[in-house]
Structure 1
């Protein structure tokens, strides 16, 4: 966006700055990320950015949370099988997107010897797991999976094979990978693998 087209304040600025943050991470990476570059990309003065986000870690964490929440919505189809499949497919679409690749690059930066991402960035992923727990609790209430199922462990099991392929083996992921992860997770839940008894 050109500096000659001012954004003003409020939601438009927030949306533009968060989008520019993801773009900046995608193109330059975490180590080279600066608020000044985000401001220039957005077309606002850097003080406008600093007023809302006092440091780059705060800005990056909010941009990551916003990207994940927007691109991986929590489904509520009325069927745990459909919910798990929709959640896994949204995750696959996200990790294959520019914003998803940018976020994951931040999270694995230490593996490449780059500066470690802020702890707040890791909290984004923990918070996202927390937001998806209703998929499991609703399924328990409907009697689709056993009482006592651990929601967090079930969600982690759903996403783990997708992240493993993307981050460890470098294999491509698609809807088939998502559907397989969903089916395996549901089978494990019905076999009471996520309960203490």
Structure 2
């Protein structure tokens, strides 16, 4: 399948997910919106969960390049700012919230691929930081990412609270520097 047509299908999938939710997302609707026959979609993706899982990882709308500011702190602050934008700026925020809701209620929708893909890309941040001597050797990169991204998810999505300017800097400082006085 041509990459442009694939992106149109993914775009239609995510647009319908954000607009209608997972329950009302249909292969027929995606086919109509993207201008392809539904048999074409089924040829590449055998089910709605498979199509959505692929769209979450491969869609241009959710594209992700890990930041490279030259420092671990700068990279993590930029990463948190990217997560903030993903979760607060439409249409990505609508897509993320709809995908989370779908994953909770439909275990057959495996969103682990999305998170695995993101973390595989984010790992570069930590590899560069280790090479620069900015990390102790036993730092768990996934824990750091979970703490930072989780803070954004809780604040923006679960609490529905605003993510004020400076949040990324404060969150990264809390993780890298701690929150208790040094003796």
TM-score of Structure 1 vs Structure 2, range by shorter chain: 0.7 to 0.9
Counterparts of 2:35 and 2:92, CA distance in 1: 20
After superposing on structure 2, the runs of 4+ consecutive aligned residues of structure 1 that deviate more than 3 Å are 67-72
Counterparts of 1:142 and 1:166, CA distance in 2: 33
TM-score (structure 1 length as normaliser): 0.80
Number of matched pairs? 178
TM-score (structure 2 length as normaliser): 0.86
Asked if structure 2 preserves the Cα contact closer than 8 Å seen for 1:159 and 1:181, the reply is no
The unaligned stretches of length 5 or more in structure 1 are: 1-8, 189-197
Identify the range of structure 1 (116-125 vs 17-26) with the bigger mean alpha-carbon deviation: 116-125
The match for 2:92 among 83, 87, 99 is: 99
Counterparts of 2:15 and 2:109, CA distance in 1: 21
TM superposition shift of 1:66: 2.4
Give runs of aligned pairs for residues 23-172 of structure 1, distance below 5 A. Answer: 23-67=15-59, 70-96=62-88, 97-109=90-102, 115-172=105-162
Counterparts of 2:103 and 2:128, CA distance in 1: 37
The unaligned stretches of length 5 or more in structure 2 are: 179-183
Please, what is the CA RMSD of the aligned residues? 2.3
TM superposition shift of 1:44: 1.2
TM superposition shift of 1:106: 2.1
Give SS of 1:102's match: helix
Counterparts of 2:149 and 2:60, CA distance in 1: 13
Counterparts of 1:19 and 1:168, CA distance in 2: 26
